[in-house]
């Protein structure tokens, strides 16, 4: 099964479209949350995600806030401005769709999925080997896929010496996975690993391979729409540099 794994689209429809085109034919799509926030295209993104093949989708923290299950005050000023704007422009149909999505850990075969982490699915960032180590006790599957940090990374737990390591991922190179591991496909719509290209991954559930991938897209066009919508300038600038 060839599975498209995406996360943190953040209302960037142009980046999402580039990822879908770059990925080609897939059997399923797993989305790790944060469809909205920051970007100018929340309705277009939700509508596109709804059409992706055999979708499994969970909520991220920005999604939870927009549907009214988290106060906007939990976010910094710029993020809060984007959420207020997003709430105003979202259609009722798309809001209703998002309300049907789970915000807890979702298990599919050998994989647990969470937006943040398995022990705190909405808020925790798995940023380093320490936070990864603390989370291996909170899922039972061989692998866990997370988003939230906007960076393509993999944490590997050696069951021989009980040591967690941060492993590099090479774009467009299929890596054979070994239990146990926590993997992040990166962010489609707002990468923060100094590579501005849209990030995603392809997971083969039969071969147990993970292919981290990047896709070029028209960043200037998205920046223009962010500015036209009156959204924070920071959210436009950072797209060019991937921070």
Which CATH number goes with the domain that contains 209?
3.60.21.10
Q: What are 118-164's pLDDT values in tens digits?
A: 999 999 999 999 999 999 999 999 999 999 999 999 999 998 888 99
Quickly list H helices, the chain: 13-23, 42-50, 61-66, 77-89, 92-99, 129-135, 219-228, 233-241
Residue 171 confidence (pLDDT): 79
Number of Cβ within 10 Å of residue 78's Cβ equals 14
pLDDT tier, 168 (very low <50, low <70, confident <90, very high otherwise): confident
Q: How many CA atoms lie within 13 A of 165 on its CB side?
A: 9
Closest CA to 87 of 101, 100, 70: 70
What is the band of 173 on the pLDDT scale with cuts at 50, 70, 90?
confident
Question: Residue 109 sits in which domain range?
Answer: 2-241
The domain total for the chain is: 1
pTM for this model (two decimals): 0.97
Q: Compute the radius of gyration of the chain from its Cα atoms.
A: 17
CA 238 vs CA 33, 48, 78, 130, 235: distances in Å: 20, 24, 13, 28, 6
Give the count of beta carbons closer than 10 Å to the beta carbon of residue 167. Answer: 12
């Amino acid at each position: 099964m060839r599975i498209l794994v995406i996360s943190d689209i953040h209302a960037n429809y142009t980046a999402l479209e580039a990822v879908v085109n770059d990925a080609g034919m897939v059997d399923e799509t797993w989305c790790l949350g944060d469809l909205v926030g920051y970007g100018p295209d929340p309705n277009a993104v939700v509508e596109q995600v709804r059409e992706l093949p055999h979708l499994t989708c969970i909520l991220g923290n920005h999604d939870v806030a927009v549907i009214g299950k988290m106060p906007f005050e939990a976010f910094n000023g710029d993020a809060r401005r984007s959420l207020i704007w997003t709430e105003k422009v979202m259609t009722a149909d798309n809001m209703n769709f998002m309300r049907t999505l789970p915000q807890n850990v979702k298990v599919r075969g050998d994989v647990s999925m969470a937006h943040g982490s398995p022990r705190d699915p909405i808020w925790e960032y798995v940023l380093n080997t320490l936070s990864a180590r603390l989370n291996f006790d909170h899922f039972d599957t061989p692998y866990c896929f997370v988003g939230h940090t906007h960076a393509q990374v993999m944490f590997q737990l050696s069951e021989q010496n009980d040591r967690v390591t941060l492993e590099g991922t090479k774009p467009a190179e299929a890596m054979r996975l070994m239990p146990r591991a926590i993997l992040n496909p990166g962010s489609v719509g707002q990468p923060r690993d100094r590579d501005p290209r849209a990030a995603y991954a392809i997971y083969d559930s039969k071969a147990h391979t993970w292919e981290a991938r990047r896709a070029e897209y028209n960043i200037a066009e998205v920046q223009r729409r962010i500015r036209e919508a009156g959204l924070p300038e920071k959210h436009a600038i950072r797209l060019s540099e991937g921070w």
